[in-house]
């Protein structure tokens, strides 16, 4: 099994525990210029975002710190609903698929 497949299985298992359900659908949400990957999670009527930041290549703690600082400053940032920093997984609220740059 490839590293990507193993990682995806670990992500799905973690999400199942967070959501207390295995009946969710994952779809690519976006990518950035790093090793992080983002997926939109559809769980019934709600959507969430899950970040996959492989620990050997990415550290999600700076993301958490910046999200908190921006949120404390009154900026609209995703809420961190669950985290597994050791494995590089974050479950975030979904702010939608429109980018700020598209609105400006």
Residue 104 lies in a domain: no
Residue 14: predicted pLDDT = 97
Residue 32: predicted pLDDT = 66
What b-and-e string marks burial along 25-35, b requiring 16 or more CB atoms within 10 Å of the CB?
Answer: eeeebeeeeee
Residue 54 lies in a domain: yes
Residue 49 lies in a domain: yes
Q: How confident is the model at residue 1 (pLDDT cuts 50, 70, 90)?
A: low
Residue 101: predicted pLDDT = 72
| Ordered alpha helix ranges (H), 1-104 | 3-19, 61-72, 100-103
Residue 84 lies in a domain: yes
Residue 26 lies in a domain: yes
Task: Please tell me whether the overall predicted TM-score, pTM, comes out greater than 0.85 for this model.
Answer: yes
Residue 102 lies in a domain: no
Structural domain of 63: 3-97
Supply the CATH number for residue 31's domain: 3.30.200.20
Residue 73 lies in a domain: yes
Tens digit of each residue's pLDDT (9 = 90 or more) over 60-100? 999 999 999 999 999 999 999 999 999 999 999 998 877 76
Tens digit of each residue's pLDDT (9 = 90 or more) over 36-52? 899 999 988 899 999 99
Number of domains in the chain: 1
């Amino acid at each position: 099994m490839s590293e990507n497949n193993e990682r995806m299985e670990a992500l799905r298992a973690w999400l199942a525990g967070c959501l207390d359900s295995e009946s969710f659908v994952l779809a690519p949400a976006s990518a950035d210029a790093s090793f992080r990957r983002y997926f939109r999670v559809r769980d019934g009527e709600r959507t969430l975002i899950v970040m996959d930041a492989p620990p050997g290549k990415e550290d999600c703690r700076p993301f958490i710190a910046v999200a908190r600082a921006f949120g404390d400053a009154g900026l609209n940032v995703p809420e961190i609903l669950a985290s597994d920093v050791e494995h590089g997984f974050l479950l975030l609220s979904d702010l939608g698929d429109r980018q700020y740059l598209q609105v400006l």
